[in-house]
């Protein structure tokens, strides 16, 4: 999925810089590899400043400029700990909203005086995350005892990760945030684990070995009976808070359920599509490019949208207006370990199939690493859900508002068809289900649009003939 021509123009990264006049400037720079968005400074000295200076320290908070629709973020990890010296523009922490994962960086050079939240906390936009003594200010003269005295009581017994590792306040077990998270999943106290790393650091292997050592061995009948008895009589419920993309899905699907949906189901002959994909693979000279059915389906969808612009629109309920979108920003639903993400390929109408293939690969990689930027997941105009890649003939999708159409595609499978003379022959068939906002789209419009899209898929030569 591509929002720009990848091999002709490298993707631009959005960064923020503070100018000498104290204003926030947005800059673009080229990069050869995807990066997480990094906020170098957030607001000027108005009432909603992200860095609020006082007589003793500078307060850092989640900026209002991340997204006007975001009210809170989850704190994922700290890159610093109390007492650390911080350089200008050094990353301080990583937070995740329901849109993307973002690094917050320091505007100043100084020393971390106080950390107010721990990973996993939900922090409101504008609330102070940490306090820092800035070099050259009165804050830099504070002693360590002074810092300890202003430390909130709730944090005195709370473990705060550093940039590399942190020390458990109970017994001094050294470990990384990933290891502590693994231990928490197994319900293990790291103080009980023998660390084999440098300076007694607890490694991932140490935790797993500890788990295996505490589990009953196969063949040990007495231990097995005891273990089964525990599971039978003392089952534990687990409360899982929904964060990031999962929390966003709760909001969007709740709103979508209130919209009157119209669904249209059709079968598409994919024999020509299968042959085209095979030809792409056989003639592929770039080992970094993997050809699939999806880029052709995306491009053919864009061609059909050009003829039926109402399918590529957004509905404004307050003003009762339909906004026909000029760009075809086609979203692709992606199942990740962090939840359902829907990044979109920008300006598909201007891209070749190869460009779409490369952009799709980029977005899939970022989604897997949980590094999609706000730009990657915003501005979509229509959504494709390739549920067939996992299984199932077709799905019954709900709209990704404010879009007015979404398409769920089932798996491509061989089925028996009858010719006019009664002969039976195999056909590669895909079932699609188009979900439409019935306040905007009627059945006839959706059916004609689907016929146009189907014609491009079943006859790729027509697609190639009309491509620009």
Q: Where are the alpha helices (DSSP H) in 92-220?
A: 144-149, 153-156, 177-186, 204-214
**Straight-line distance from the first to the last Cα atom of the chain, in angstroms, rounded to the nearest whole number:** 17
Residue with tokens 């997204």: 67
Three-class DSSP category at 240 = coil
The Cα 334–Cα 344 span in angstroms is 10
Residue with tokens 């990704």: 400
Q: Is 391 left (phi over 0), alpha (psi -120 to 50) or beta?
A: left
Neighbours of 444 (CB within 10 A): 8
Q: What is the dihedral of CA 352, 354, 355, 361, to 10 degrees?
A: 150
Q: Minimal CA–CA distance to 42: which of 98, 108, 96?
A: 108
Three-class DSSP category at 266 = strand
Q: Is 365 a catalytic residue?
A: no
- Could you tell me the CA-to-CA distances from 443 to 200, 242, 261, 446, 447 in Å, in that order? 67, 36, 11, 5, 6
Of 189, 192, 220, 442, the active-site residue reads 442
- 266 phi and psi angles, rounded to 5 deg: -145, 150
Give the DSSP letter string of 63-105.
Answer: -TTS-TT--EEEEEEES--TT-EE-TT-EEEEEE-SS-EEEEE
Omega into 163 within 30° of 0, i.e. cis? no
Q: Is 438 a catalytic residue?
A: yes
User: Which two tokens mark 34?
Assistant: 């995807």
Q: At what angle do helices 353-368 and 294-307 cross, to 10 degrees?
A: 120
User: Which two tokens mark 342?
Assistant: 């829907």
Q: Minimal CA–CA distance to 260: which of 385, 432, 442, 431?
A: 442
Element (H, E) at 256: helix 244-256
* Rg of the chain on CA atoms, in Å: 27
**Residues assigned a catalytic role:** 438, 442
């Amino acid at each position: 999925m591509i929002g720009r021509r990848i091999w002709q123009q490298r993707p631009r990264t959005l960064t923020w810089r503070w100018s000498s006049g104290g204003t926030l400037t947005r800059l673009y720079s080229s990069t050869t590899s995807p990066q997480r968005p990094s906020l170098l400074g957030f607001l000027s000295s108005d009432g909603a400043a992200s860095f609020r200076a006082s007589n003793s320290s500078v307060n850092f908070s989640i900026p209002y400029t991340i997204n006007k629709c975001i009210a809170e973020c989850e704190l994922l990890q700290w890159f610093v700990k109390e007492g650390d010296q911080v350089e200008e523009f050094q990353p301080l922490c990583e937070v995740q909203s329901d849109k993307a994962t973002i690094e917050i960086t320091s505007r100043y050079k100084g020393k971390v005086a106080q950390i107010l939240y721990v990973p996993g906390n939900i922090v409101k936009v504008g609330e102070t995350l940490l306090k820092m003594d800035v070099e050259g200010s009165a804050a830099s003269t504070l002693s360590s005892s002074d810092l300890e005295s202003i430390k909130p009581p709730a944090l005195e017994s709370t473990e705060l990760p550093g940039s590399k590792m942190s020390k458990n306040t109970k017994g001094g077990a050294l470990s990384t945030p990933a290891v502590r998270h693994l231990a928490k999943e197994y319900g293990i106290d790291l103080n009980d684990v023998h660390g084999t790393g440098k300076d007694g650091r607890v490694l991932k292997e140490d935790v797993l070995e500890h788990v295996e050592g505490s589990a009953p061995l196969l063949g040990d009948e007495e231990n097995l009976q005891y273990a089964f008895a525990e599971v039978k009589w003392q089952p534990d419920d687990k409360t899982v808070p929904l964060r990031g993309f999962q929390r966003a899905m709760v909001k969007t699907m709740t709103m979508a359920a209130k919209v009157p949906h119209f669904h249209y189901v059709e079968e598409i002959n994919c024999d020509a599509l299968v042959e085209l994909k095979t030809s792409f693979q056989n003639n592929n000279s770039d080992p970094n490019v993997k050809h699939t059915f999806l880029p052709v389906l995306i491009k053919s969808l864009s061609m059909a949208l050009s003829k039926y612009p109402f399918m590529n629109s957004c509905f404004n309920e307050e003003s009762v207006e339909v906004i026909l979108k000029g760009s075809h920003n086609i979203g692709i639903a992606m199942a990740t370990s962090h939840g359902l993400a829907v990044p979109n390929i920008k300006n598909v109408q201007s891209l070749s199939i190869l460009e779409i293939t490369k952009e799709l690969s980029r977005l899939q990689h970022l989604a897997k690493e949980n590094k999609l930027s706000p730009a990657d997941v915003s501005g979509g105009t229509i959504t494709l859900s390739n549920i067939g890649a996992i299984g199932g003939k077709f799905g019954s999708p709900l709209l990704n508002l404010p879009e007015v159409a979404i398409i769920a595609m089932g798996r491509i499978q061989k089925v028996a068809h009858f010719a006019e003379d009664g002969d039976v022959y195999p056909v590669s068939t895909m079932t699609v289900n188009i979900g439409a906002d019935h306040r905007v789209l009627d059945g006839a419009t959706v059916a004609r649009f689907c016929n146009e899209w189907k014609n491009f898929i079943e006859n790729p030569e027509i697609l190639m003939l009309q491509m620009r």
